[in-house]
Amino acid sequence: MGLTDPRTVTWGAMMEDAMGYLSESAAMWLLLPPMLCLSLLMLVLLILGSRVEDDALALEQRQRA
C-alpha cells in the first residue's frame, strides 16, 4: 500500500523484493516465509473472530433466559 517508510522491512516489501527474482529457482524460497506468516496471521484472526462471535452469541442467549 505504500503507507510506511520504504526503508522499513515488512512482509509486503519482502514479497515485492522476491517478485524480482521469479525467473530464478530461488524465488519460491524468498516468497514462502512471508506468505506463510501472512496466511497464518489471517487464519489466527479468522479463528479468533469466530470464537469471539460464538462467545457473544452464547452470552446473549444466557441473558435472554
Q: Averaged in consecutive runs of 10 residues, what is the pLDDT profile of the chain (65 residues)?
A: 72 78 72 87 96 94 88
C-alpha to C-alpha distances, 54 to 7, 29, 45, nearest whole angstrom: 41, 38, 14
* pTM of the predicted protein model: 0.65
Question: Does residue 29 form part of some domain?
Answer: yes
Residue 10 CB partners (closer than 8 Å, separation 6+): 4
CA end-to-end span of the chain: 47
Domain residue limits at 59: 11-64
Number of domains in the chain: 1
Quote the pLDDT of residue 1: 56
| Residue 4 included in any domain | no
pLDDT value, residue 34? 84
Give the ranges where 1-65 is alpha helix by DSSP (H).
Answer: 11-19, 27-64
